[in-house]
Structure 1
Amino acid sequence: MTTQFLGARQRADELSGVDGLVRGPLEGYHHETYVLTLPGETRIVKVREPREEILWFDRRCFRSEEDLLRALQGKVGRIPAIHDVAGMALQGFIEGRTLKARAWGDRRIPEAVLDQLVDLFQEMARITPGMLNVERRCEPEDRAENGDCDGFLERLIVFVEDQVYKKNYADFGRLFEELGIGDEVFVQLRKNVSGLRERDFCLLHADLHRENLVLDPLGQLWAIDWELAMLGDPLYDLATNLYLMSYPADQRDRMIAEWFRVVHRVRPRSAQGWENDLGRLIGFKKAQSVFTDVIRLSLSLRDGSGINWVKLPSVVRKLQAIIAAAAGPLGLTEVPSRSRIATALVR
């Protein structure tokens, strides 16, 4: 094991005791995570440590995920509990399987699972910015006023532009340019997604995809990994979920209808204008994916000091599809051919 993650492993071993069993490391992009049962107890907890030099592609709102989860106990039903152990706040481990691990066809999820996900949206819609006394990362002047959905989206665009595109331009700028993605696309993106209606803000998970949704043995749905949670436009959470889950068309339509029903019932102003704005927000998610996936997919091709040639064709296909999906929001006049993408990646 590398020394990079020795701290997390050592803490897990110390907490588990002489006869304790430590599971891990678990798969995860942002953290190295281990799972253990506390000695003499039935509580199962996670010990984790952020990966060094990780690339962050999403704006974060709360300083501590554990503090947020502690504040949400009793407000959101099935989320990890927080256990204070040896001076540390540790998340409880949810036993079960993620939705990604389930072998359901055509990306459909069972209706009972969809109903539980709708219940989660309803619970979050009830939690307004003034209800959470949790330390935040951003300064007050860098927060959109309640209801200012255009301002909320602008801050997300600025993060992508500054912290993903410009911050990594020294390493990936030439690749972006050769793919036809220059800094002018941000002008077009703003033009194509702005003009959102005002909606009352609420709590957002902001990353509700299949790996962050766990079904326990009783069929109950749990939401994990709240690290990207924020306070903002509730329609953004729906757009993110629709984009990441890729539901079949009929289930996508049902999710939209159910989201509107429960959010409108809780707070009508949080659901207004969704018919015109949902497409804009999904357009932003498609555009955001271009910048993150160009970097992620190109990094995935690295094989020591060379290139993983076997993986190259699949990466090229994925990247072309991602750019094609975002052509409208980014104002691209053409989508690069596969040979152009392959040449740029190799170079």
Structure 2
Amino acid sequence: MPAESDSTGRRRAGEMSADPGGVEGPLSGYHHETYVFRLPAESAVGEGGRWKCREPRESLLWFDRRCFDSEERLLTELQGRIDNIPDLIEVEGTVLQRFIEGQTLGELHASDTTVPEKEFEQILTLFGQLVAVRPRTLLVKRRCERRDRAREGDSAGFLDRLICFTEDRVYGDNLPEYGDLFADLNLDSDSFKQLRKHVSGLRERPFCLLHADLHRENLIVDRDRRLWAIDWELAMFGDPLYDLATHLYLMRYPPEQERRMRERWWALVEGVRPGSSRGWQEDLPKLLDYKKAQSVFTDVIRTSQALRLAPAADPTAYRSLLRRASRTIWDVLSKGAYPLGVEEVPGVSAIEAALTRWLRARAGGAQGS
């Protein structure tokens, strides 16, 4: 990625901003480099708030399948159908999203803590609105070919295409770089055969719009305690139960609140569109296990990437970082081992040794020694 001062996104934001020196960013985020600013007072648009200028990050590894060609086009079509999503404007050929002033739900209520009732109810309202959006009612250009889309209601086919993406694009495409590390963690192509067996037999449910990334950092609470859903980059059409599974996996509710979310969700979506929760009690554990399995490959790659880029000037600090990374991988692998058919999960020390070998085998990897 270009240096911050030379970033195309920063330059563009500065050109449009009322105060080039007051541009905020880049904000944290995986998919985009994002800058926030106010438009000039004489601008005919964008009064009363700040706006986001975003540029896709270069050389980005995608761990999730994308459905829509343009997040901005999707948000435009969803205005009036989904409450509390960012407005959009076009300024000098650049589409800007309104910056939602507030704090993320995660800043206010960390993982494993209870979400307040007012915000909890708004999450349920969002799920109800998503289920009401059917594929044929949303005219937004899609990235995938029709032949690559599951038949309407074919939840098993929908999940199989997600598994194919993880197998081909996350595992397969990264084998030249991470193959030795995967092998040391007892992960290979047979893992996906085991995963398919484990999650087979999903019931059919009518497809709807999915946000597919609803977690505490993508939910913004404003000063009036309205809850705003941001980052629709991974939105897609598919099995509504997959959206619930992803949400539960990422949100990490306390057990009692997770139980309430499950029960409220099925009653809600059945009222909006009958059949949307069909077989949910049997199928939700399978979809949660897919998310655990998917996270194994995602977290191994992200964690090892971060280690490789970490400064090694202080050997003691670096060894501590290596140990934490090893524990992170052990934790995610332990959770995903069963659906992936991994019979023996390497211990933290064995994972640390595998990471060290992987780092040493690469340019700049000597810091792992």
Q: TM-score range by the shorter chain?
A: over 0.9
| Alpha-carbon distance change, 251 to 18 in structure 1, aligned in 2, over 3 angstroms | closer
Shift of 1:340: 1.1
Paired residue secondary structure (2:339): helix
TM-superposition CA deviations, 1:285-323 (whole Å, max 9, x none): 000000010101111112468683220111111111111
1:34 aligned onto 2:35: yes
Match of 1:320 among 313, 326, 330: 330
In the alignment, is the contact (CA less than 8 A) between 2:109 and 2:115 conserved in 1? Answer: no
Match of 1:253 among 248, 252, 259: 259
Q: Across the two proteins, how many residue pairs are aligned to each other?
A: 347
Match of 1:165 among 168, 171, 188: 171
Match of 1:198 among 196, 199, 204: 204
1:336 aligned onto 2:346: yes
| Alpha-carbon distance change, 14 to 305 in structure 1, aligned in 2, over 3 angstroms | closer
1:294 aligned onto 2:294: no
In the alignment, is the contact (CA less than 8 A) between 1:240 and 1:282 conserved in 2? Answer: yes
Q: Which amino acid aligns with 1:111?
A: E
The residue number in structure 2 matching 1:180 is 186
Structure 1: runs of 5+ lacking an equivalent: none
Q: Which deviates more, 18-27 or 39-48? A: 18-27
In the alignment, is the contact (CA less than 8 A) between 2:124 and 2:265 conserved in 1? Answer: yes
Q: Which amino acid aligns with 1:317?
A: R
Shift of 1:87: 1.8
Shift of 1:99: 1.1
Mapped to 1, the partners of 2:19 and 2:250 lie a distance apart of 42
Q: Which amino acid aligns with 1:182?
A: D
Q: What pairs with 1:275-294 in structure 2 (closer than 5 Å)?
A: 275-294=281-300
1:10 aligned onto 2:11: yes
Mapped to 2, the partners of 1:276 and 1:258 lie a distance apart of 17
Shift of 1:115: 0.6
Q: Which amino acid aligns with 1:230?
A: M
TM-score (norm 1): 0.97
Shift of 1:103: 4.5
Shift of 1:108: 1.6
In the alignment, is the contact (CA less than 8 A) between 1:69 and 1:80 conserved in 2? Answer: yes
| Alpha-carbon distance change, 60 to 19 in structure 1, aligned in 2, over 3 angstroms | closer
Structure 2: runs of 5+ lacking an equivalent: 42-46, 358-369
1:87 aligned onto 2:93: yes
In the alignment, is the contact (CA less than 8 A) between 1:62 and 1:230 conserved in 2? Answer: yes
Mapped to 1, the partners of 2:194 and 2:267 lie a distance apart of 33
Match of 1:189 among 195, 217, 220: 195
CA RMSD after TM alignment: 1.6
Aligned-residue sequence identity (percent) comes to 53
Q: Which amino acid aligns with 2:350?
A: R
In the alignment, is the contact (CA less than 8 A) between 1:234 and 1:270 conserved in 2? Answer: yes
| Alpha-carbon distance change, 66 to 330 in structure 1, aligned in 2, over 3 angstroms | same
Mapped to 2, the partners of 1:190 and 1:54 lie a distance apart of 27
In the alignment, is the contact (CA less than 8 A) between 2:19 and 2:38 conserved in 1? Answer: no
TM-superposition CA deviations, 1:63-105 (whole Å, max 9, x none): 0000000000000001011112112221111000001111458
Mapped to 2, the partners of 1:148 and 1:333 lie a distance apart of 31
Shift of 1:21: 2.7
